Structure 1
Amino acid sequence: MVSESLSLSAFKPDLRSSQRTQIQRGITVRLLRVITLLTLDTLSLASAWKLGTFDSTQSLPLINLSLLLTIFISSDLYKAGVNRRNYIRIIKGTSISFLLLLLITYLYAPQIDIARSSFLLPWLLSIILICTARYLFDASTNILRKQGAVRHAIYLITDANEQKEQINLLNQENCYIIQGVNDSSCLDLANREQTLNKLRQLGIAEVFISWNSIKNRLHICWHFYNAGITIRILPSTHELYHPKSEVWMLGELPCLTISAPIIAGSDFWIKRIFDLVCSTILLIAFSPLYVSIAILIKLDSPGPILFKQDRVGLHGKKFKIWKFRTMVTDAEKLQAALEAKNEIKDGVLFKLKDDPRITNVGKFLRRYSLDELPQLFNIVLGEMSLVGPRPLPLRDVERFKTTHFIRQEVLPGITGLWQVSGRSDIDNFEDGVKLDITYIENWSIWLDLRILFKTVGVVFNKTGAY
């Protein structure tokens, strides 16, 4: 397994990175729709005030417009699909904006005596005109779509036995042009790059993927995410969930949508800059601690201060990990005699709570994870990150199953979701891998920050450390 993994290109980037920063695909059409609706709502409200009152207080319509647009935006009334046709929500939003206007007038301009009709008639006309404008907008759009215009270019990935049913479902929406159909094999590692290149050439902004085609390879969402392509997952069952998704209705059918960011491809480089800045600051701040630990190690037992070991990192590339030495110098040779006492149930990792090879100072360093501090140099060199799946020795990776290698698709880290969820107390490698995959699928800058803050608590509480 290791030889297969190590044959991967050492120059391939982290799964979450992008070769270039780009604008989300299809954003021009979305912006045009939003601008059109904003304009219609503004004109409708202005017309309602013009027709409904002759009051000379010019500030009221402007305040009302600000309130209305804020409420509409927060109520998702400018999103695509059924959102803009939610007339109940439109009526509620319009009514709330007028009630707030009344409250503001009462609190901040009590000296102004305004007739009730100055509010009631514009309110009623606003509801009528805004709903009418939205209805006409939808009716005009539907007429154009029946003529083949104003349609979204999409691509469908689904197995052959589901294609006919799902094509019919998409055609019923009357807003898509299906530019191509493929089965789930196009998402396999060998075909993935070719598929993405084809989608770029076709100018695809949205890809519809059946749940059966993606359920075992959800990590590929990062490829579409960084390409600026929105994923819509078509359900095959009612038990659908993906952490980065939101529910979106396709007719009467609830689907999951993983939206691409407006500016795609920038998140990972923010993470890399954060890693570099933080590791550099920590190296400078901890320099006196490094010297103190080095002296203690030298006084405690013979041998080098630092321990170097081959670990398997990004895409199976080997690198030297740096740690403060916590064991006797011939610890790796002694491990073979201790394999029978391994406390990890499936034997992939090697963990032993009362490991006789650990020195007295080593026990203290491990208890507070101080032995990991030299890995800040690995971060500066780009071999590791502050947060990510832990890099494992060759002995462990040689025992991987095929599904485990997804861990190697992202930069390894000093700490991670596995470490803050139990550290050494997790005695089954499969449980740890599930946490690593959860981290990969859910990753965001904010998740990294939460893990880092939680790591501080875990270290000081000495949770699961040995």
Structure 2
Amino acid sequence: MTHTVDRGYPWQIAGSPGLELQRARSRPTEWATTFSRFVTVSDGLAVLAATVSTHLIWFGFQRVPVAAPIEFGIDYLFFSAGLMLAWMVALSVSGSRDTRILGTDSTEYRRVVNSTLLLFGSIGVFAAMTQTDLARGYLLTAFPLGLGILLASRWGWRRWLHVRRRRGEFSFRVLIIGNSESVRELATSLSQRPDAGYRVVGALVTDGTSGSIEGVPATRVTRNTLFARLGESTQDTVIVVGSDDLDAAAINELSWRLDAGQQLVVAPQLVGVAGSRIHTRPVAGLPLIHVETPSYDGAKRFAKRAFDIVSTSLLLLVLAPIFVVTAILIKLTSPGPVFYRQERIGMSGEPFHILKFRSMVVNADSRLAALLAEQGNGSTPLFKVKHDPRITPIGRIIRRYSIDELPQLFNVLAGQMSLVGPRPQVDGEVRLYDSKASRRLAVKPGMSGLWQVSGRSNLSWEDSIRLDLYYVENWSVTSDLVILMRTAKAVFAHDGAY
């Protein structure tokens, strides 16, 4: 490390940052470095397990040479070792173990998937260019097996990290700088999501007075006293949020004043926009933030439909015994049909009939208004009756584990619904939409969605609309996979189901 000799220059006086560029480098905190190493070892074991298993499946303990026009003297044992090394390099280069994304949103999973796709795609292109006859079965086995183990291990580490973060551990210590209202909003949001890994330890406000905001000590500062106050907190992350007093020059100066290992984050006033849609690009020397327009057509829609068809077909085959047993139990324990049909509103406002296993007595719909009136919620959209007397004994069981919704797989196969999407609503609810809420109809309704994994029946009308709009405006194949994994947990835990 180089040091700047103090010779009394003006920029070396009164705590100026000097020219020690090492101070401006951002190094992860100790816990982040440790956790990243854990994930690296886990990735290595996952790749090792996938390649060794694939090699044993296809070649056993034999040394089979790779067929190529030119004799390289390479066998599949050597190829497997090279694949493991290349896979680990690809995961590292893609930034999939960046401490800023580990355990947060779908970015981590997306980088794992993209790096794996790029690696195997490159191997295929190289084999075609060199006319090397690689065993296709080997690659077709190693790819899904390795990717599946990698994603499962990352999910496991994420669950472990979230548990620790809810205990107040393994989190970035955050100092928020901005006006009082912006600080309050951000502090509240971060406190509601401890698994995000940002624990607020203090705030510097540019208006009002010193005191406490949402239980966080807040100190009133001016532009002149801001930098002197930075060293009074134990933060490793500084977040700047809406304040007219902090212009570009002040933020740039702030980045120089931070100690090594501290990171500076600027929170733009973009609410409800997923990180995958936000890109910062330098234009004319200015760091402009580009927000991608929500896209529902082209390759993304084709990929979503293909995923729905393949996954639904497999689920129908696997779940066939549950269909049969459930149908028999419903027929034996309650008079009436096995299935329940109800009109719902689909994409572009097109009505369709949703299919469910019947979990209530016959003519249950005619009693709904009276039950809602009894509970004082007759005018509340999306309200569901708790301890509903219309539900049959078998109905309570199948609703608890969402078995009643399995017939909707046929709606998905017919193209009326998707596995993941906004909640399918009835005509009366859709009539309450304003122009913003009507964007829910831009995509197909889903069997599951953000509403399913965020409280289900416990959600208010406003929360349901907010979550559905967020999904519509930010959906991707990767986010669908994440929601489906969270759905499995919510179903088995029967969170918010009644």
**TM-score when scaled to structure 2?**
0.44
Which structure carries more relative contact order (alpha carbon 8 Å, separation 6+)? Answer: 1
**TM-score when scaled to structure 1?**
0.47
